[in-house]
Structure 1
């Protein structure tokens, strides 16, 4: 991202001039040319731009916890997740500013395998949910787990009544414009069901993969997975994992854990048919979280949670302090669907999720099946071999 938002540039120019009339002319020029006062980005509950944030919506209602660079740990929110003072509202509501979405230098895509106002569940497109919005300087990518959210453009913002019972997760990251070519290609690998998609005229030649995504042009590539490093607006590194339906395998066991070179504790949807047990069949285990405990919140079971996140077994070397937030689960049906997760090596984020992990499901003993879903429990993760013993470094 180059330089501050237009409003900040105007303020800096004004401060540098002793002639008050010159500063007034500058402000009028910015207003008359329609330049946005703040560039598109993740916003906190006060409407201020942040490099990234994580929201954990709690089960049974609209309460949530918030985490960003400035907090360094979970903070209990004082408002509901659908309040106009919540970061989810502030960020997503940028889509519903008619002036912004009609501009020639704005692009956006809203995607969800359970779109709003649709009684049908799409089991063919990717199991993936999110929002991308950007202008000619940068924007945000919000990865989340909430069905029927957000409303299609032009809005208005609303929280679905179907999203009250279970926990949900959100990861928002602000990126400079140069990152959105990679992000658009990741989305094409994810094979999303998008229901609002637009690329402004000034951006069409610069974002061919986003154009192709909106047009639902089939991706013609040999590889069934793609892993890419993304750099946030403030220079923080995130690692995005994406798979197409042709991967036909467990994203976490066969792509994320080997790539991160770490065993994982993973929280994902445990209802439905074909849910996978903890897996200790390979060099790195993927152990299913069974209960969660968050600050000032009564512990709850994974059966009450629809969020999708994981943390590395250790919070440092070897392996790194990895934490991931995504949109795909561990079950047989989702092996042959697109989807992904976004990870970062950050001790504070790792600790926030690791401390929330109060118990995990032991690996079952026995022979492996064709999906490597049962192993010999021979990996060096005590919690996965029976009985939770706590995470190292906490």
Structure 2
């Protein structure tokens, strides 16, 4: 918890992105859907990028109220990546709802605080992080409008399976894209538990085409309301990581249906949310979708 609390000191940069209008610091009249935290230390020249699926986290810059009360209700995903301090200027040009930038921070980072959202794909750079993985592994951050996961499939040149919140009344079904398909995951099974789409709020995607090994941790669900605002994903190229996430998949929309019918939204999955479970209000409480 030390790193999460350390932003209160003057040497640290803190910027939070979210979907919910919680703070008077919000500068623009549209909503982004970037649920992440960026922290930087100007002395050590290091930074952390945390992307996750928990709505309203961090709730506020208050240690006592840092974690939202509803954060324990459903399954969530977190990915924390270390990067160079200088890389922040490429990655934080989005929509902050809360921030703490000391006056002595580098000018380009303070300028990034006020940069308007660029309403186009922001692919900046493919990173290699020697501190976490071998130099054969690449990272990139994708921010886009529309169906984030369809754009990921097109960019990665692969079919993908996607886990997102399953309680939307208008959850986007499987999509047969021009070149690649996007298939919804309905059930996840791990060594520590099983989650169906009705209680799994995690957001991630994994490539399924042969010899394509990408895993992405996202912040957007799949619904029309989500497609109207920007969302993002942090992706890693690693066969080991991809194999692990593929192993989590226990059921998916269209399982057992071959060819284009499965990709076009046909589902014979045993997983179905009951009407009382299907609620946009639940998403509004935790992440507005």
Q: TM class by shorter-chain length?
A: 0.7 to 0.9
Aligned to 1:36: none
Q: Is the 8 A contact 2:214 2:242 kept in 1?
A: yes
2:78 matches 1:177: no
2:19 paired with 1:127: no
Please name the residue that 2:104 is paired with.
202
Greater length-normalized contact order (CA 8 Å, ≥ 6 residues apart): 2
Counterpart in 2 of 1:93? 5
Paired positions, count: 258
Query: 1: distance between equivalents of 2:242 and 2:266?
Result: 22
- 1:58 aligns with none
Match of 2:121 among 219, 225, 240: 225
2:250 paired residue among 358, 361, 377: 358
Which residue of 230, 233, 238 corresponds with 1:341?
Answer: 233
**Cα gap change, 1:117/1:352 in structure 2, threshold over 3 Å: closer, same or farther?**
farther
> Could you tell me whether the CA contact under 8 Å between 1:110 and 1:150 is conserved in 2?
yes
Match for residue 310 of structure 1 among 190, 198, 205: 205
Q: 1:240: how far off?
A: 0.7
- Structure 2 residues not aligned, in runs of 5+: 270-289
* 1:321 equivalent among 213, 216, 239: 213
Alignment of 1:300 with 2:195, yes or no, is: yes
**Residues of 2 paired with 1:209 and 1:287: CA distance?**
39
What is the SS of the residue equivalent to 2:169? coil
**Number of the residue aligned with 1:256:** 152
Cα offsets for 1:274-312 (capped at 9, x unmatched): 210011242111000001101142x22111111100100
Distance 2:188 2:4 in 1: 27
**Cα displacement (A) at 1:207:** 1.6
Deviations 1:340-362 (A, max 9, x none): 10111112211221111111101
CA distance in 1, matches of 2:215, 2:268: 22
State the partner residue of 2:178: 282
- Residue by residue over 1:365-391, the C-alpha shift from the partner in whole angstroms, topping out at 9 and shown as x without a partner, is 9xxxxxxxxxx9539x89987779xxx
With structure 2 as the length reference, what TM-score do the two structures score?
A: 0.78
Tell me the secondary structure at the aligned position of residue 251 of structure 2.
strand
Paired residues for 1:54-93 under 5 Å: 89-93=1-5
User: 1:209 & 1:225 partners in 2: Cα distance?
Assistant: 20
